[in-house]
Structures are given as structure tokens and as C-alpha cells.
């Protein structure tokens, strides 16, 4: 048995001080309370314990190219998402399974260092570089599970269906690694991925979904999203780009969220990534379904996607999570404050999400992101669940930002000023993974990552 003592802990949306955490030898939580069990040696931690955070939308292979699509090519001054996507396709079509293992291992360790203890990997690199299925259909998915195990992060692997480039338009050559001929082929991969996880990676949750509303015929979307194929969550990109929303409406004579509302029994099981370009009616319908929107605000800003109407969505009771998406930012604290700050600029007001008895913006944002994030991973929305592996972030109470500040202000300081420098330790899947800002296994896997990056950069020169 292990008994940990923290100066304070944020448990069930309130601070307790001090806090004692009792773990079994496997790192599962046995008890968490203010009371100290008698007769047990105590491991002292002077910091503040908060729950680990969930990354609701991630493409790990894009860690390779983050920040590398910020230059214009002559004649391409009208730069937007669609030109960025060309650079992304080059990476997607260059990386092999061995390189993906090394890149994803390093990336998942970086997420832990930033305070994410769980991640939903939105997975569409299914086939080989020629677009042919591997002999083992789960080859790429298995690589991601192994990378997560190496890093010690909680993984929800979500393989998604991709069939067409846009409504009525066949898949492009650059999208060959994503392609499924039909839903039967996709569901076979999903079944084998679930079997692999069950037999060899039982700690991994398996989700499912459609890449986007543009990437599949409506009948296929109904097939995939209309049934709970796994115990995990359902995910899809929705209304990310203004052009997405326009093409969908022109092609099907319906707004995207209107169509989903009328044709899919959306509920807490479903997670819509971005949902940027939605009108007031769609906001109301989406809130009514209790589906979660996964906001990736730094990616949405970087790609020029647009701005999700968070104040309207929140005031009506909407649920949201955050994700790192294209990996231009890995800090959950920056990600959770970004939507609020953008609307402060737009509205020329402050603390815009506060309502009723919720008068602390930092606490409000933290609590919403914490709950929505756990939902996006298909896990219990409660933190510090007895019997589950211990997950938590230990904040450095002696940091300049936190020293002598009252506990009631810690979450706002964290959300609006925080970065990884405030983190002393990160515990995930029952073990201390990060200490003094560094993942404890970084040195072990660094050589493989360096080798893979050198290979990829040679192939991608001039991206």
C-alpha cells in the first residue's frame, strides 16, 4: 500500500485540505479524503492535487509538422485550411508504422508533461502508403496502443470511416490511406481493433465514428453513427469550415446539425469536433441532444476555421471538451482559456460565461472541460474514482504564480495564466509519469524518435 499526502486537493469540485490518497500496489485508488489512516507511512507532497485532464481530439502524426505550414508559396497568397491540408497529406502519406510508434510515444509523453492524462486519438491512417490494407488490419491502430502503453497515458482509440472526398466526389489519391470501400470493410477493422484491445491492451477504450460529414454518404453516416458499435464514444468532425457547411447545405438541402438531429439519435455518447459554423437553431438542437462539442481553439485559430459560438451554447447548457488536434499547442490550460479570451475580444466584456451562482470563470472553465473531456474519452465523468488507476496533476504550490495565493483562486490562476511550469508531477494509470517537468521514460525512447524524425524530414524537405 502507498499513502500520499498533499497540501490540498480539488475533489468533486471543491478543495479539501490536507488530502490523503491511498493506493494499492497496482496504483489503483483505494481512498481519498482529509482523514489520515493510522499506522501507515506517509509520502509527503507539498503541492496541490487536481484531476488529470483529457484531450478530446488528437492526431498524433501531426506532431511531426506542427508549425511547419506557416510559410506561403508563390502564387498561394490566399492561404486557408485547404492549403494547410495539402502539407498535412504529405506527412500522412510519408509516415510508416515504425515511425508512427516513435513519434506517438514521444508525443504522448509530451501530453503528460503538459497535464493531459488521457487522449482520444482520432485515427484515420489505416492503410499502407499505397492505400492497401495491411495483412494485419490493426497494424496502425496497434502501434498507437503500444505508444500509449509506453508513455503511460490513458488512450481512447477512435478509428473513423472515410469513403469520399466530399459529397458525390470520389476520394483523392492523397486520401488513399484513409479509404474504406464500404461500411462493412470499416466495421471489420473496428471489430478486429476491439478484439486486439480486449486481448492485449485492456486499458485502451475503443471508440468509432465518421471522419466528417463530407467524407461519407448519408446512408453510411447513419450506419456508423446510428449504432453503438463499441463501448467507447462516437466522434466526427462537423461544420469545421464555412465551406464544409455550405457544400453540405447545397448538396443535401439541409444544415449539417439539422440533418444529424433529424437522422441520428444524438446523445451523450456522441461528440462533435469543432461544430464551428452553426446557427442559433442548430445551437438549440445540439444542446437538446446533450452531445458534447470538442473545441480545439488553438488549431481552429491557426487554420483560420472560425469561432464557435460558445457563449450561446454555454448559456443554454451545452457540454464541451478540448483537444489539441493539429498539435500547434499542447497545453490544456491555454486550450481551455482560448474560447473565453476570443469572445472577450469580440464582445469587449470579461467573465462572459458566468451565470447564476457560477461567478468564477476559472473554476467554471476547469469544471466544464474536466467533465466534458472525460465524456469525450468514453470514461466516467467523475475524477478520482475508487478502484480505478490513480490519475492526477500535482501543482507546485511554491511557484511564483501560486505562492501565498488562496486556494479559492488557484483554478483561475491555472486557467488564465498557467502552463507546464506550474506542474510538479503528473500521475497516470497509477504511476508517477512526470517529475520536475520531464517524463521519466523520455531518455529511453528518445533515440528512436530522433531516428524517425531525421528520416521523415529527409522525405518531407520543402513541406
Distance CA 395, CA 291 (A): 31
Looking at residue 76, its pLDDT comes to: 66
- The enclosing domain of 6 has a CATH number of 2.30.40.10
Looking at residue 70, its pLDDT comes to: 84
Distance CA 133, CA 176 (A): 10
Burial class (CB in 10 A: 0-12, 13-18, 19+), 51: buried
Does 268 reside within a domain? no
Distance CA 154, CA 11 (A): 20
Distance CA 319, CA 243 (A): 25
Quote the domain boundaries for residue 38. Answer: 2-51+384-438
Does 227 reside within a domain? no
Among residues 319, 413, 430, 392, the alpha carbon closest in space to that of 25 is found at 430
Does 45 reside within a domain? yes
Q: How confident is the model over 227-236, as pLDDT tens digits?
A: 999 999 999 9
How many other β-carbons are positioned within 10 Å of the β-carbon of residue 458?
9
Give the pLDDT of the chain (463 residues) as one tens digit per residue.
899 999 999 999 999 999 999 999 999 999 999 998 888 899 999 999 999 999 999 999 999 999 988 887 777 666 666 678 888 999 999 999 999 999 999 999 999 999 999 999 999 999 999 999 999 999 999 999 999 999 999 999 999 999 999 999 999 999 999 999 999 999 999 999 999 999 999 999 999 999 999 999 999 999 999 999 999 999 999 999 898 899 999 999 999 999 999 999 999 999 999 999 999 999 999 999 999 999 999 999 999 999 999 999 999 999 999 999 999 999 999 999 999 999 999 999 999 999 888 899 999 999 999 999 999 999 998 999 999 999 999 999 999 999 999 999 999 999 999 999 999 999 999 999 999 999 999 999 999 999 999 999 999 885 6
Among residues 112, 149, 120, 152, the alpha carbon closest in space to that of 332 is found at 112
Assigned C-alpha cell, 373: 473531456
Among residues 218, 187, 207, the alpha carbon closest in space to that of 294 is found at 207
46 and 398 Cβ atoms separated by less than 8 Å: yes
Q: Which residue has the cell 495539402?
A: 86
Does 159 reside within a domain? no
Does 22 reside within a domain? yes
How many other β-carbons are positioned within 10 Å of the β-carbon of residue 41?
7
Please, what's the b/e burial string for 72-88 (b: 16 or more CB within 10 A of its CB; e: otherwise)? eeeeeeeeebeebbebb
Out of 325, 343, 396, 439, the active site residue is: 325
Among residues 111, 79, 97, 109, the alpha carbon closest in space to that of 139 is found at 97
95 and 61 Cβ atoms separated by less than 8 Å: yes
Q: How many domains does the chain have?
A: 1
Looking at residue 203, its pLDDT comes to: 97
Out of 274, 314, 343, 439, the active site residue is: 274
To the query of whether residue 274 is one of the catalytic residues in this protein, the response is yes
* DSSP classification of residue 62: G
Looking at residue 183, its pLDDT comes to: 98
Does 395 reside within a domain? yes
Does 276 reside within a domain? no
How many other β-carbons are positioned within 10 Å of the β-carbon of residue 233?
26
Distance CA 133, CA 152 (A): 28
Q: Which helix (H) or strand (E) holds 337?
A: helix 332-347
Does 420 reside within a domain? yes
Please give the distance of CA 82 from its chain centroid, rounded to a whole number.
22
Amino acid at each position: 500500500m502507498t499513502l500520499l499526502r498533499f497540501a490540498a486537493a480539488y475533489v468533486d469540485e471543491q478543495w479539501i485540505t490536507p488530502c490523503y490518497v491511498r493506493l494499492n500496489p497496482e496504483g489503483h485508488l483505494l481512498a481519498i479524503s482529509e482523514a489520515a489512516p493510522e499506522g501507515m507511512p506517509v509520502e509527503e507532497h507539498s503541492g496541490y492535487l487536481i484531476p488529470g485532464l483529457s484531450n478530446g481530439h488528437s492526431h498524433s502524426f501531426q506532431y511531426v509538422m506542427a508549425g511547419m505550414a506557416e510559410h506561403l508559396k508563390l502564387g498561394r497568397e490566399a492561404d486557408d485550411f485547404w492549403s494547410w491540408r495539402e502539407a498535412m497529406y504529405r506527412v500522412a502519406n510519408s509516415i510508416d508504422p515504425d515511425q508512427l510508434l516513435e513519434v506517438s510515444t514521444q508525443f504522448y509523453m509530451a501530453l503528460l508533461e503538459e497535464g493531459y492524462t488521457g487522449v482520444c486519438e482520432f485515427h484515420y491512417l489505416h492503410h499502407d502508403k499505397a492505400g492497401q490494407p495491411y495483412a494485419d488490419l490493426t497494424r496502425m491502430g496497434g502501434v498507437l496502443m503500444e505508444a500509449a502503453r509506453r508513455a503511460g497515458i490513458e488512450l481512447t482509440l477512435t478509428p473513423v470511416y472515410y469513403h469520399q472526398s466530399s459529397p458525390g466526389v470520389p476520394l483523392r489519391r492523397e486520401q488513399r490511406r484513409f479509404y474504406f470501400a464500404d461500411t462493412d470493410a470499416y466495421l471489420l477493422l473496428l471489430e478486429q481493433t476491439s478484439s486486439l484491445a480486449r486481448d492485449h491492451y485492456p486499458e485502451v477504450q475503443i471508440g468509432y465514428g465518421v471522419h466528417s460529414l463530407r467524407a461519407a454518404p448519408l446512408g453510411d453516416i447513419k450506419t456508423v453513427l446510428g449504432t453503438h458499435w463499441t463501448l467507447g464514444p462516437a466522434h466526427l468532425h462537423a461544420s469545421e469550415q464555412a465551406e464544409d457547411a455550405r457544400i453540405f447545405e447545397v448538396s443535401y438541402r439541409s444544415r449539417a446539425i439539422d440533418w444529424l438531429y433529424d437522422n441520428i439519435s444524438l446523445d451523450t455518447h456522441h461528440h462533435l469536433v469543432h461544430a464551428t459554423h452553426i446557427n442559433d437553431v442548430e445551437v438549440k438542437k445540439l444542446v437538446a441532444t446533450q452531445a458534447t462539442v470538442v473545441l480545439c481553439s488553438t488549431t481552429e485559430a491557426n487554420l483560420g476555421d472560425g469561432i464557435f459560438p460558445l457563449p450561446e451554447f454555454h448559456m443554454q447548457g451545452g457540454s464541451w471538451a478540448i483537444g489539441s488536434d493539429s498539435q500547434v499547442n499542447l497545453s490544456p490550460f491555454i486550450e481551455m482559456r482560448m474560447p473565453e479570451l476570443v469572445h472577450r475580444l469580440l464582445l469587449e466584456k470579461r467573465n462572459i460565461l458566468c451565470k447564476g451562482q457560477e461567478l468564477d470563470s476559472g473554476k467554471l472553465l476547469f469544471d466544464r472541460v474536466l467533465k466534458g473531456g472525460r465524456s469525450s474519452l468514453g470514461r466516467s465523468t467523475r475524477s478520482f474514482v475508487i478502484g480505478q488507476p490513480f490519475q492526477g496533476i500535482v501543482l507546485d504550490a511554491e511557484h511564483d504564480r501560486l505562492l501565498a495565493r488562496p486556494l479559492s483562486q488557484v483554478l483561475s490562476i491555472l486557467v488564465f495564466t498557467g502552463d507546464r511550469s506550474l506542474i510538479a508531477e503528473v500521475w497516470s494509470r497509477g504511476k508517477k509519469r512526470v517529475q520536475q517537468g520531464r517524463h521519466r521514460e523520455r531518455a529511453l525512447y528518445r533515440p528512436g524518435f530522433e531516428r524517425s524524425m531525421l528520416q521523415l524530414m529527409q522525405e518531407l524537405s520543402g513541406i
